[in-house]
Chains A and B, each alone.
Chain A
Amino acid sequence: MAIRPGTLREQTDQEVVSLAKEGSEEAYRELIRRYERPVFSLVFRMVRNREQAEDLSQETFIKVLNAVQSYRPEYKFSSWVFKIANNAAIDFLRKRELDTLSLDGSPHADTPELIEATALQISERGETQLDEVANRELGATIEVAIAQLRPEYRSCILLRHVDGRSYEEIAEMLNLPLGTVKTYIHRARNELRILLKDVRDEA
């Protein structure tokens, strides 16, 4: 069954999942296309290692897509994907506590090309060089601050303020009470305010 990619892009997640259940490979690829960046970004910001983030994201999608037949459409597909991705990241962090932060590229990168390929790409296209430098510094500052948060605060605040999920959705994804999610997010914001205030004061 061939489906035009353009048609797929206009369809909702639920419709694409239905097509995937019917055996459409294009539908599977469309689901990956929709969520590879947000999932990878979340996992990368959680584990702070590009290779690990890629492996965990890959495992997330393999798990999701192999279980797509058992997906229950009354729940949001995105919540399901993020839930599995976040669980994978948290499990990884529990197994191996990573306290090193690399903004300059993977610690495993041993060639200039690999360092460049694995470095955090903070700037956006279409900026002037000065903007790019300023944004890179600003982005790096907030990335460093986020990396210093406790993993559970980090996943909550990333889901809320980077992915734009509602408190209720995050509570469902992380299996946490709504009040706990709110508390984590506000504590995270509080810590970020303190960290960023220090940076401003130093400047």
Chain B
Amino acid sequence: MRFFLRRTAFYLFTAWAAITINFFLPRFLKGDPVSAYIAKNQGLISPDAAASLRTLFGLDKNQSMLEQYINYWKLLFSGDLGRSFSKGLAPVTDVIASALPWTIGLVGIATILSFVIGTMLGAYAGWRRGSKADALIPITTFFSTVPYFWLGLIAIALLATGLGWFPASHAYDKGSTPEFSLDFIGQVINHGTLPALTIVISSLGGWVLGMRNMMVTVMDEDYVTVAQAKGLSPRKVLINYAARNAVLPQLSSFALSLGFIVGGTLVMELVFSYPGVGKLLLDATNAKDYPLMQGLFLIITLTILVANILADVAYAILDPRTRQSEA
């Protein structure tokens, strides 16, 4: 019980810190692009929207910092993240909501695939240590040190424009609208394969290496020897005894990797013009669309936090020791 309380406290603290950083970021900015924008579009922005923008960016000089902070929280709880300058003054929440499913769908699937494949390869390489399987590590490491955007561009050059196997960009064919039909789903899969493939290839290395090293360490444990001495089949020992214990640290780095993956997806979405959160952030940066930038940063951070919570719960279910040792 105490374990869960501690974790909850940690997540609340992290969420508070992330939101507070988000509160202070625009207040350290040089210049004042936001008030200039508001002044320029005096008639276009409703007084309500202008007021919420002033609160979000600390333009109301009559208020103390504390008042601004409290108002900022009030706005957040009412789900108001301001209006996006570059998207025709649409509410930031709506703009983000239209992009989020694409990122979570594609990157989520790619990350899980990469984790599963990498961990399995790593378990195999650890089990067959000293054999040809050791060659997996330098190969996958090479692909993980190659800059992702470069890999993506070369993949496009070879597989999309060169061989014409996959479309080079966007999430679905031009001219079609998102709908639940077999044709549209086929398009999405067709467009998503190449980005997903490049993400998996470039992120495989870490999983293979981590799992392989853990396997080599776990194989020395007495319980593996005992399992062997009992005459269990090698397969059973590999899966139920060695890999099962070796995978635990992998799970906690999986939670942490979600943060890096959101960073990686940004480049992926740029290279493949994929209509996700990362592309939105880049567009917002280029357009100096500060409300959208702030909102996106907040949403990305909170998404990672939620992913961490899920991974934490999974870890606690899988490894009873975490619950006991902390208590």
A and B pair up:
no
Question: Residues of B at under 8 Å CB distance from A?
Answer: none
